[in-house]
Chains A and B, each alone.
Chain A
Amino acid sequence: MRDWNAMSDEEFRQAAIDFINQHCPADLRYREERPRFEESRVWYLAMAAEGWLAPGWPVAYGGMGLKQSKHLIYLEEWTRNGLPRVMEQGVLNIGPALIANGTEEQITEFLPKIFTAEHLWCQGFSEPGAGSDLASLRTEARIQGDEFVINGHKIWTSGALDANHIYVLARTDKDVKKQLGISFIMMDMRQPGITVKPIVTMAGDAEFAEVFFDNARAPLKSLVGGLNKGWTVAKSLLGFERVWAGSPHMGRSAMDQLVQLAILTGKATDPVTLDRIAQLQLDLADGTAMYERLAQELRQGHSFGFEVSTLKIMATETYARITELLVELAGERGGFAGEVAFGDGHSGVLRAFLSARTPMIYGGTVQIHRNMLTKGVLGLPG
């Protein structure tokens, strides 16, 4: 296997571009909606075969052992080349959660099946009554013989239409403080007790869904991290998700689109436009500096702290502001759907604007993260 980390950034970027161009079909790119898995399977398996599916994972588990700065380059190329989101929960969340909290048996059984696409994962956390206040969740798991029997209702479950496995947070003890009575359970969705109902998003796709559990079952051995320890596992996993959401790659790609649009619309010489773009460029550059500082600390083995919330707020709000200026520069065409023609080129303005809304909501809203910083860093009273 090639030593990716030893490459220069330029060499690595080129290798990533070559890989993408060789393996990702053109009709999967720059899509308004997220393609269903059957369509993107060929691209998923191509990535899995060469380590590009889980670049940040250790080589021993099928990844590339890629360091953060290189990973960021790869993510930039993803967005720049309009690549579709593919069932990323396995790679992004359940895999790292098992590596950190799973048994040897769980790791051996579940990790390889992520790469073969035999297991496609989704995340069962939020509930109709438990969004920002996640710990108040009511989906319940009772132990019956050597099984959990699960009843309840999850919502905003990304990728649930294509997934065949779900990891859920379920209440296993009602008599303790709410965080201390939750367990983290992996479930096969291919059973009669589980029903999935799609939710159509503003972007027009069925990105997420509701999942209903009616006496659904999972063997006791699919518990991760111990009984009633689910909140701890979930928190570490949200840590991974927040580092992802805190990385500047989405903002970087939106900035490329913004600069492109400024040129296409002839506004690239307008001093007011330039000043406003410069402001966002500096926010992005400085946010990247903050991200890389944390990434370096993570590489040195420090654990996730509240810095992750700082990054998440900074990165997602900068990303959003970039797309807001994009809509403004587009003028009347800022109200158009789809890929819109501008001069010699085109731009998907609406897609960019809508894509930038959700990172400020998922994985804890930016207001929840402000609450966490209030107490955890500033030590202000509750």
Chain B
Amino acid sequence: MDAITTDPGMVAELRDGAQRLVRDKTDHRRTRALRQTLPGYAPEIVEQFKALGWFGILVPEVDGGIGLGIAEICAVLGELEKGLLAEPLLALGTLGVRTLVHCPAGALRGALLGEAAAGEILPALALDYDEAPGTVTAAPDRDGGFILNGCNRSVAGAAGASGFIIPASSAEGLQLFWLEAGVARLEAGWLADSTPRGSITLDHVTIPTACRLAGPGEAPAALAVALDETRLAAAASLVGLCEKMLDITVEYLKMREQFGQPIGSFQALQHKTVDLYIQKELAVATLANALDLAAADPGQLALAALRAKYRASETAARIGREAIHLHGAIGFTDEYDLGLYVKRAMVLNAWLGNAAVQRGRFVEMGLALQ
């Protein structure tokens, strides 16, 4: 199973489906009502994803899913962001699911993926700040199981998750464990867009060996690949936000009149806006190129992911802040929808490494001097 393969017909069909859902289900009164609540997204939307089979997009067919690739989930996510509906499919349906997929075959992995494909369980990967595995340690207990201690403070999708994939360090190295929701202590902090960021604390939690998803031999690679794939997905989400923020801005420039004419007729604003358009086009092209590269050669996945995430983060940050400014005061109000998108973009810019982090990775790979 190659997760990066692309089927253009399928991509178009999924994009259409996502556009329909955005058209029918976007409701920013609801978006606002969900702020500082748990799980932070509308259960109704998750039911829609289930009905459409979208939690199975990234689950291999042998494990009960549809077995499509990253390009397909990217098409869906990019559209869903335009209605601010994507989060459960990104945090849980992509990062959580792909981490499970990359764990070695086993009874637990098989069972979890089968349920995840149908959306019956929603798995979250428990990371700490800046993608670090966190402080959780796993020590052997007397019955052959493990005792877990520590905390992970940046768990995307935590409040709605059915269970957590916990990276834990042990004497042998990094391992991955499955922990049902409700066992660890879960606290919520608030992200820039007032959706929750989970923090879980494990205090002497005992786990049977059967709950180990990946040992030291497999865990680091499983995590790395899932994170890179999810960077591509997050880049697609950000590109969708870029398109939306630019659309809102261009519409406003045509409509708002000052000095007896639409402000979009002023060249100072026109050239600023064209520059945002150029950067958006660049982000679209970079994402497409990254998906092609990753599909052609899995060895290029890390570079493809960093390039896509770099450009998308950089561009979304710029379009977000300049869109506020191009609007003037109305752009800074809570009542106007633009702010909802800008804040969502701030969350995703920072998640899995902002632009500066990706650039640093590029330098570390020795590519600056090539």
Query: Could you tell me which A residues sit within 8 Å of B by CB distance?
Result: 259, 262-263, 268, 271, 274-275, 277-279, 281-282, 285-287, 289-290, 292-293, 307, 310, 313-314, 367, 370-371, 373-374, 377-382
Contact = CB atoms under 8 A, between A and B. Distances in A.
B37 to A, nearest CB: 37
Interface string B227-260: 0000000000000000000000010011000000
Q: Report which residue of A278, A279, A310, A379 has the largest number of chain B beta carbons within 10 angstroms of its beta carbon.
A: A278
B193 to A, nearest CB: 27
A289 B277 contact: no
Tell me the dominant secondary structure on chain B's binding face: helix
B363 interface: yes
A263 B369 CA distance: 9
Interface stretch (B197-205, B214-222, B281-289): B281-289
Given A259-B370, A282-B310, A373 B359 contact: no
A370 B270 CA distance: 8
Contacts of B359: 275, 278-279, 282
Interface of B: 250, 253-254, 261-262, 264-265, 267, 270-271, 273-275, 277-278, 281-282, 285-286, 288-289, 307, 310-311, 359-360, 362-363, 367-370
Contact of B278 (A271, A279, A314, A367): A314
B320 to A, nearest CB: 18
Given A278-B359, A282-B310, A289 B274 contact: no
Contact of B362 (A282, A307, A310): A282
Given A314-B278, A382-B265, A282 B307 contact: yes
Contacts of A380: 250, 253-254, 262, 264-265, 270, 273
A159 B359 CA distance: 42
A381 B259 CA distance: 14
Given A278-B363, A378-B273, A313 B285 contact: no
Contacts of A379: 250, 254
B311 A381 contact: no
Contact of A310 (B278, B310, B367, B370): B278
Contact of B363 (A274, A289, A290): A274
13 contacts: A271-B363, A274-B368, A277-B368, A278-B368, A279-B359, A282-B311, A282-B362, A287-B282, A310-B281, A367-B271, A380-B264, A380-B265, A382-B265
B281 A290 contact: yes
Nearest to B361: A278
The 3 closest A-B pairs by CB, nearest first: A289-B289, A290-B285, A380-B264
Given A274-B363, A381-B265, 6 more contacts: A268-B369, A286-B286, A286-B311, A378-B273, A379-B250, A380-B270
Which of B261, B265, B277 is the most central at the interface, judged by chain A CB atoms within 10 Å of its CB? Answer: B277
B367 A278 contact: yes
A259 B282 CA distance: 24
B297 to A, nearest CB: 15
B285 A374 contact: no
Contact of B277 (A263, A268, A373): A373
Contacts of B285: 286, 289-290, 293
Contacts of B362: 278, 281-282
Contacts of B367: 278, 281
Contact of A286 (B262, B267, B271, B307): B307
A285 B307 contact: yes
A374 B273 contact: yes
Contacts of B271: 367, 370, 374
